[in-house]
Structure 1
Amino acid sequence: MTHIVVLGSTNMDLVTYVATAPQRGETVTGREFRTIPGGKGSNQAIAAARAGATASMIGAVGNDAYGLRLRETLEQSGVDTDFLRTVEGPSGTAHIVVDDEGGNAIVVIPGANGTVDHLSPGDEGLIATADALLLQLEIPLAAVVAGAEAARRHGVRTVLTPSPAQPLPPELLAVTDLLVPNEYEAVLLTDRTDPREAAAALLDLVPEVVVTLGATGCLYLRRGAEPLVVPAPHVTAVDSTGAGDTFAGALAVALAEEKPVREALSWAAAAAAISVQREGASVSMPYRPEIEKQYGA
């Protein structure tokens, strides 16, 4: 079975559902509030496990009630948490406003994630056993670089979601195999407004790029190959939180299973399409039979 290792964040998502998100200085009345386990790292681990991989999580939670629930949620989804540390203090939280069109705005408080600034004993050994290492930017950049360098030493594919968007240091780009930004992140990383131009600019930095385009689908570029545009299934979005993580987790599984690139992208898009039709992040992520059904629809 494919083995996916994730080095990244775990957060408790504090989600407010509103008709329209408030503007600066404005107060609005929401219709619902929920606490939902999330964090980009945890989300990608759960997405990979539900998509059919053996998944392992490297990161940290706090010694609070949120930390217990975050660990339990990962384990209930089949994710190995032996390398998920418990540290003194609060777990990470993400404060999310979701509007009636499924759009969201998010503020992340790192909490325990801020302590993941290096690889701990055993982390590199775990990474070495993986078919792919999934990375994001909700933990300190030093650990992301260390994880990617460890993966490169052991011939493990690195898949980086550059979120929250920030300048990427050359030492990280040098050991990144596949970069998976959304449109907004691609623009911030390149100062280009057109997705094709942004993807092409990123291709000067890494060997492969997938720019996710929301309901439009995704754009894939690889050095020496023609660009691919893969459409997304037409669905009605309820909540887009976690859709990008669902896509990244499912894509890593599909590529590790050596699916052709177009098929892998379509399969990952099918997974993301299911997730946006449900509220929440980790709880919205589909299991493999659901993905196969959507993919074949």
Structure 2
Amino acid sequence: MSPADTIAVVGSINVDLSAQVARHPQPGETLHGRGGQMTPGGKGANQAVAAAKLGGSVQMIGAVGTDAQAEVGLSGLRAADVGLDGVREIEGPTGLAIVTVAEDGENTIVVIAGANDAVDAAQVTASREVLEGAAIVVCQGEIPRDGIEALPALVQGRFLHNPAPVMELDPAVLRASDPLVVNEHEAALVLAQLTPEMDPPQQPELIAGALRAAGIASVVLTLGAQGSLVADSDGTHRIPAAPVTAVDTTGAGDAFIGALAVGLARSESLPVAARFASRVGAFAATGHGAQPSYPGSEDQLPQLDGAGA
């Protein structure tokens, strides 16, 4: 990719503390587990690493603490050759995610923001030059609201917005998303902000259509094992999921988004980029952890059938 194809990722940098269990515990229950490894994570860092390992030219804007875990949090970004000029060091702890993975591959995650709380409007604005020059700017919901709301005024390329977790945002920020990438639960929460008078529809095609009718230019609705659905000015497209056996879904959604950013930076259409992202996200679910499970080459990826876009 040329410098004009730069992907800027604004978001969280965490350390993941991982445990494997036979099943998730019930409230008040104690179970034996395995693991205890500390690995690099955070939705922002995950998406940046996924994009960079696939050949993207990526700049990270975020923050780490002054603790020993900061180097763990940055290790995956460094290994993937992500630009770190926009990453600040903040007095205090680095962000932490406590990840529990059951034998069926499903996970639960508790996130402690730490230094990510410092990625505010002032820090985002300090990276104006990078943001204005990026082909794709990627953001999630693990940084403060004012940091996210500062972005649309600085983005001159495409704003790939993954509001996870969903928070109250200025509706104009949601409408600046192109694409908005959400699962069905997140989509309902976004619709409630944009059209509070509407009962959210249940079918994926209607959900995506309602988001576009509310003023969002393009939508990618992720549907887990059912793949994803893309809606833009060219219509609605079903994207299949690649057939794999999931081992650990931690970070698979972030791999999807990093790959989607790479496809869009290569000037692919949104449906074509989503097909690529589906393959990358599926591959990530076949390995343990987030960043360690991301592919370093397109040759590793599973194939999709001919259905969809």
Same fold (TM over 0.5): yes
From 54, 63, 75, the counterpart of 2:78? 75
From 101, 104, 114, the counterpart of 2:104? 101
Could you tell me how far apart the structure 2 residues matched to 1:260 and 1:176 are?
16
- Aligned ranges for residues 30-179 of structure 1 at < 5 Å? 30-120=33-123, 122-151=126-155, 155-179=156-180
Between 1:27-36 and 1:234-243, the stretch displaced more is 27-36
User: SS of the counterpart of 2:235?
Assistant: coil
- CA drift at 1:171: 2.8
Could you tell me how far apart the structure 2 residues matched to 1:66 and 1:193 are?
42
User: SS of the counterpart of 2:26?
Assistant: coil
- CA drift at 1:259: 1.8
- CA drift at 1:208: 0.3
Contact 1:124 1:147 in 2 (8 A): no
Give the 3 Å change call, closer, same or farther, for CA 240–198 of structure 1 in structure 2.
Answer: same
* Matched residue type, 2:237: L
Q: 1:133-168 deviations in whole A, cap 9, x for unaligned? A: 0000100010011123211xxx21100111012333
- CA drift at 1:27: 1.4
Q: Which runs of 5+ in 1 are unaligned?
A: none
- CA drift at 1:122: 4.0
Could you tell me how far apart the structure 2 residues matched to 1:169 and 1:290 are?
41
1:231 corresponds to which residue? 240
Contact 2:243 2:302 in 1 (8 A): no
1:214 is aligned to 2:215 = no
Give the 3 Å change call, closer, same or farther, for CA 209–136 of structure 1 in structure 2.
Answer: same
Could you tell me how far apart the structure 1 residues matched to 2:225 and 2:172 are?
33
Q: 1:219-238 deviations in whole A, cap 9, x for unaligned? A: 01114x32100101110001
Q: 1:144-198 deviations in whole A, cap 9, x for unaligned? A: 11123211xxx21100111012333213123222100122212333344332222
1:188 corresponds to which residue? 189
* Matched residue type, 2:29: E
Contact 1:266 1:295 in 2 (8 A): no
Contact 1:57 1:80 in 2 (8 A): yes
Instruction: Give the structure-1-normalised TM-score.
Output: 0.93
User: SS of the counterpart of 1:163?
Assistant: coil
1:294 is aligned to 2:309 = no
2:194 corresponds to which residue? none
- CA drift at 1:287: 1.7
From 281, 298, 302, the counterpart of 1:272? 281
Could you tell me how far apart the structure 2 residues matched to 1:187 and 1:236 are?
29
Q: 1:237-259 deviations in whole A, cap 9, x for unaligned? A: 01111111111110111011112
User: SS of the counterpart of 2:138?
Assistant: strand
Between 1:280-289 and 1:83-92, the stretch displaced more is 280-289
Could you tell me how far apart the structure 2 residues matched to 1:33 and 1:183 are?
31
Between 1:169-178 and 1:20-29, the stretch displaced more is 169-178
Give the 3 Å change call, closer, same or farther, for CA 210–240 of structure 1 in structure 2.
Answer: same
- How many residue pairs end up in the alignment? 292
CA RMSD of aligned residues (A): 1.7
User: SS of the counterpart of 2:76?
Assistant: helix
Contact 1:149 1:175 in 2 (8 A): no
From 7, 13, 16, the counterpart of 1:10? 13
Between 1:13-22 and 1:66-75, the stretch displaced more is 66-75
Instruction: Percent identity, please.
Output: 40
Instruction: Give the structure-2-normalised TM-score.
Output: 0.90
- CA drift at 1:24: 1.3
Could you tell me how far apart the structure 2 residues matched to 1:30 and 1:149 are?
46
Q: 1:261-294 deviations in whole A, cap 9, x for unaligned? A: 3321111111011100001011111123335x53
Q: Which runs of 5+ in 2 are unaligned?
A: 192-199
- CA drift at 1:54: 0.7
Give the 3 Å change call, closer, same or farther, for CA 70–171 of structure 1 in structure 2.
Answer: same
* Matched residue type, 1:182: N
* Matched residue type, 1:132: I
Could you tell me how far apart the structure 1 residues matched to 2:204 and 2:167 are?
18
Could you tell me how far apart the structure 1 residues matched to 2:136 and 2:291 are?
20
